[in-house]
Amino acid sequence: MAVQESSDLESFAQNQVQSDQDHLPLVLVHRLPSFDIPLTPLLQSHFIVLDPHHSSHSPPNSFLYSQAQSVRALVVYGPCPLTADTIRLLPSLELVVATSAGVDHIDVSECRLRGITVTNAGDAFSEDVADYAVALLVGVLRRLTAADRYVRSGLWRLNVEYPLGSKIGGKRVGIVGLGRIGSEVAKRLMAFGCSIAYNSRKKKPSVPYPYFANVYDLATNSDVLVVCCALTSATHHIISREVMKALGKEGVLINVGRGALVDEKELFQFLTRGEIGGAGLDVFENEPDVPRELFTLDNVVLSPHKAVLTPESLESVFQLVLANLKAFFSNKPLMSVVHQE
């Protein structure tokens, strides 16, 4: 009799769990087949998660058409493009949650046309990206990667002459895009004794740094440019040949935004001809393709688009994604909403 009662209790519990799960909101994951992050298990504790790449349906659009017609919320993992065509397959979509700070891979115009709210990573990555931007600058000015190669190759033991690096303190740093990340960069470089100026879409009344309405004038008055603005049609190749020329032969360019913010062909020519002092690049226009001629330059520090990645920042963005989804399904205010430019 006791065995029967235990079995009945287990059956009741399983049915209750199933019933609870049946009432969970649907959340669609949108990602590249090769790109996955350990966010799904966290989401599965609160939502029914649909992932076309974990489905037997092929191609994924077939899955969307047959299974996701009622989906109201979609999470975009990393850099996966979200096009207008994909958005149109989701007639009930109301929310797009990006796990990245930049949303240039998302058709935000189509979302706004449809009344779909878009959120991004907000402040989750800001501190780590700012740390990385400063590290790239230190690496370029003090030639850290070149020093590493110098030691490993045995040149130190041979007493081969090693070129001096440059002091960080006192440098005039121009920040292109004084948003969350740019503000954190400024705060860190102020502690190094640098002077800060900036360019943004508009002047920020509460900011004490000098403002330049265009990047050319900012470069003219800077020793270093740190690029961390969003990529839009207006900022594509904002670091042009003219801007690099204004920065000058001793100038240093740091890019932790998007590769297409910089006219790469011009930058590579400036670097190889010695017409710019150096560069620290975490992003490239055609990732992961990087011109091989940069590999031998001691005044260039290269990084594989990893400025955002620390365990701490990933946990922070995971919690932000979860919080936004919970807020949405509870009709509460969202965090990190991407507003109209």
54 labelled catalytic:
no
Interatomic CA distance for residues 211 and 207, integer angstroms: 9
Catalytic residue chosen out of the listed positions 180, 258, 264, 266 = 258
Catalytic residue chosen out of the listed positions 72, 142, 241, 305 = 305
Interatomic CA distance for residues 220 and 131, integer angstroms: 25
Q: Describe the chain by its helix, strand, coil percentages, rounded to 5.
A: 40, 15, 45
258 labelled catalytic:
yes
Residue of 257, 282, 244, 269 lying closest to 140 (CA atoms): 282
Interatomic CA distance for residues 128 and 33, integer angstroms: 27
| DSSP-derived pairing of the beta strands 278-281 and 300-302 | parallel
End-to-end CA distance of the chain: 69
Question: Are 335 and 317 spatial neighbours (Cβ–Cβ below 8 Å)?
Answer: no
Interatomic CA distance for residues 182 and 175, integer angstroms: 6
| Residues 6 or more apart in contact with residue 188 via CB below 8 angstroms | 130, 131, 134
287 labelled catalytic:
yes
Catalytic residue chosen out of the listed positions 242, 250, 287, 293 = 287
Residues marked active site are found at 258, 287, 305
